[in-house]
Structure 1
Amino acid sequence: MTALPPWRSLLRGARERECRSPAARWLQLATVAPDGTPRVRTLVFRGWANGSALDLLTDGRSAKPAELQQQPAVELCWLLPKARCQFRLGGAVLNLPTDVELDERQRHWQRLTPAGRALWGWPEPGAPLDAAASFPAELADNTPLPEHFHLLRIGLEQVELLELGGHSHKRRRWRRQEGWAEELLNP
């Protein structure tokens, strides 16, 4: 088994300081739209695929999948206010073999609560609101995996940590190509 990158224990510790706050699982995903403009949105961290790849879920009917197909490079920002730190994670969406992707999507689908699955039973994100549309509060455990339930597995290439406590702030960087060796930076 490969050793975890050194920043993983720092991220885990920072998330633990957030206690049971839902915000400990929220991170912002920055992408590039087809017209070249930036897009940012908040997603929920769903777990680690290995030492330096993380899983996020999205609705395939949203703009994200098309943006990521055109430009798979992303940056994630994970602000952990109680820990007074910000992690900036850079990488790209990984293309998984079809059978692996389906198995992983199914695994994530089964791990969601009925309320967590409900989002994929809602109408298309960003479409005009139809007053008669149904927005279920839950989808049962036996609900089939929707085609628009997408897994975003992000392979990380660089991680920066900005620690915001005290004077002065501290900043560090780790890069995969450097064997995840720590590099101290000006804040």
Structure 2
Amino acid sequence: MVGLRHGAVIDLSGVAMALPLPPWRPLIRSAQQREGRSPAARWLQLATVALDGTPRVRTLVFRGWGGPDQLDLLTDSRSAKALELERQPAIEICWLMPKAKQQFRLRGVWQPSGVDAAPERQRHWQQLSPAGRALWAWPAPGRPWQPSDPFVEQLSAEAEIPEHFQLLRLQVERVEQLDLGQHPHLRQSWRRDEQWNALRLRP
């Protein structure tokens, strides 16, 4: 079988088949729909471990799904975050959607993007707004400010994709949901083994 993005595979006969979604995916989608156009539907927090062993947390933008259980983010490979992920690829995401009264925590491993990820990088690059693409034309983040630093405001989709435009794909291995809209609160987790096994927890 040959893998495709968005949860599809091609069998030996060349017929595309959809893979089943994990049980937690529809719950996230439903919570996003309840958030509407709120930034909370796309903004999430990424926890990493710094090179000195201390914790770090940052807000990133959800960029879609690379597969049934693969969550896509974008980052700058020149950033401290990228170095931290190379050293310690295990990460956790916390995604709070207040209107939906839902919190999701997704734990897994960062998958480095190789040469075969070029089409996916291209797809994400094209989906960015001109202002969003411009961020990757800025000087390396986290360095001392210089008055002469160039900060462009727009970048076209035809511009060459910078080498430091990095696809961050999380292979999800465990998910925990906290539903604050029920009494008592509903807390449940799923662990990725051969299939997704669910367990209800005390809130």
**What are the Cα deviations for residues 128-162 of structure 1, in whole angstroms up to 9, with x where unaligned?**
11122221111112210001101101000000001
Give the AA of the match of 2:179. Answer: E
- Could you give the per-residue CA deviations for residues 31-52 of structure 1, whole angstroms, max 9, x where no partner exists? 1111111111011111101100
What is the match of residue 22 of structure 1?
Answer: 39
Match of 1:109 in 2: 125
User: Which residue does the alignment assign to 1:63?
Assistant: 80
Comparing 3-12 with 133-142, greater Cα deviation is found at 133-142
Q: For 1:17 and 1:181, how far apart are their aligned partners in 2?
A: 26
Counting only pairs closer than 5 Å after superposition, residues 1-150 of structure 1 correspond to structure 2 as 1-96=18-113, 98-150=114-166
Q: Which secondary structure does the structure 1 equivalent of 2:115 belong to?
A: helix
Shift of 1:113: 1.3
Shift of 1:178: 5.9
The alpha-carbon deviation at position 166 of structure 1 amounts to 4.1
Instruction: Structure 1 unaligned segments of length 5 or more: list them.
Output: none
1:88 partner amino acid: R
Aligned residues with identical type, % of pairs:
59
Q: Is the 8 A contact 2:64 2:71 kept in 1?
A: yes
Query: For residues 42 and 101 of structure 1, what CA distance do their matches in structure 2 show?
Result: 24
TM-score of the aligned structures, taking structure 2 as reference length: 0.88
One-letter code of the match for 1:74? I
CA distance in 1, matches of 2:63, 2:196: 23
Number of residue equivalences? 186
Moved over 4 A (4+): none
TM-score by length of 1: 0.95
The DSSP-based 3-state class of the residue aligned with 1:55 is: strand
Match of 1:161 among 134, 155, 177: 177
If asked which structure has higher relative contact order (CA below 8 Å, sep 6+), I would say 1
Structure 2: any 5+ residue segments left out of the alignment? 1-17
